[in-house]
Amino acid sequence: MLALNSSNPQVAAPQKLAQRLGVTFSQPDLLEMALRHRSAGNVNNERLEFLGDAILNLVIADRLYLLRTSASEGELSRWRASLVREESLAVIARDLSLGSYLVLGSGELKSGGFRRDSILADALEATIGAVYLDQGFSVAKTMLERLFEPMLANLPDAASLKDPKTRLQELLQSDKRDLPAYEVTNTWGQAHKQVFEVTCRLADSAEIAIGRGSSRRKAEQGAAERMFAILTHKPGASSDQAAPHE
């Protein structure tokens, strides 16, 4: 058996998490690996995360298909995207107190990585992968249906889940206006922690909107969200404020 579990007394025993998941592991090493962030060394949860992501998408797609029998492909896709996105996974991870079981490198530990959405979401996906490998698809599916039941029971209106760039494009097209242009107007930070600033401009207006994010795509979405708010006269939608799409 690999010695994977942490010697750090502040890290909770993985067996407690297994109990919360309702799973008895025959190979406890799998769960221990699922809780090891890449900052903790070469033996980490990245491969399990890859597997868990695929299983999660399949199970959520299956549940949505059965629950929303009259929904279009586009609506189902938007609901699935909202359920499997980082923020939603982090909510479930926090409900499980997943952060208290994570094994992190010293840098991530000092910076509070056990609270970060991205790390929590990745660890949850890795845990799904571990359950699948240890117990099979049926057990993993049952666990996921239980964990996601509250979110599945309270799905938002599908139209509200369209991404900001799509909503802005549809708004402009409905008024027979040209599509917006997006330009990267600034970048800063180290290569692995860059921040992008994107300006959204309209062809027939001097109005601009600025968005910032950890990727060009996120910055563009932030700028589009700001421009949409300006055009629909939402409160606080000043063009000189950058939507923080981190």
Shortest CA distance to 164 belongs to which of 205, 222, 233, 231?
A: 222
Other residues' Cβ atoms within 10 Å of the Cβ of residue 225: 22
The phi and psi torsions of 12 (rounded to 5 degrees) equal -70, 150
**Residue of 146, 176, 160 lying closest to 78 (CA atoms):** 160
pLDDT tens per residue across span 120-137 = 999 999 999 999 999 999
Tokens of 2: 């690999």
pLDDT value for 11 = 66
Give the pLDDT score at 163: 84
User: Which residues neighbour 151 within 8 Å (Cβ) at sequence distance 6 or greater?
Assistant: 83, 88
Q: Where are the alpha helices (DSSP H) in the chain?
A: 14-21, 28-34, 46-67, 73-84, 86-95, 106-110, 117-135, 137-153, 164-174, 216-231
Give the rounded percent of residues in the chain with a pLDDT score beyond 70.
90
End-to-end CA distance of the chain: 40
Contact 33/45 with Cβ under 8 angstroms? yes
Coil, helix or strand at residue 225:
helix
Q: What is the residue extent of each domain of the chain?
A: 14-156, 162-245
54-106 tens-digit pLDDT: 999 999 999 999 999 999 998 999 899 999 999 999 999 999 999 999 999 98
Residue 239: predicted pLDDT: 47
Residue 153 to residue 136: CA distance in whole angstroms: 25
Confidence of residue 243 (pLDDT cuts 50, 70, 90): very low
- Determine the residue type at 10: Q
CATH (one of 3.40.50.1400, 3.40.980.10, 1.10.1520.10, 1.10.1370.40) for 14-156: 1.10.1520.10
pLDDT value at residue 9:
43
Please give the Cα distance from 127 to 24 (Å, whole number): 13
Sign of CA dihedral 27, 28, 31, 37: negative
Q: Which two tokens stand for residue 61?
A: 């797609």
pLDDT level of residue 113 (50, 70, 90 thresholds): confident
**Each residue of 143-179: pLDDT tens digit?**
999 999 999 999 988 877 788 898 899 899 999 999 9
Q: Which residues are catalytic?
A: 53, 125
Could you tell me which CATH number the domain at 162-245 has? 3.30.160.20
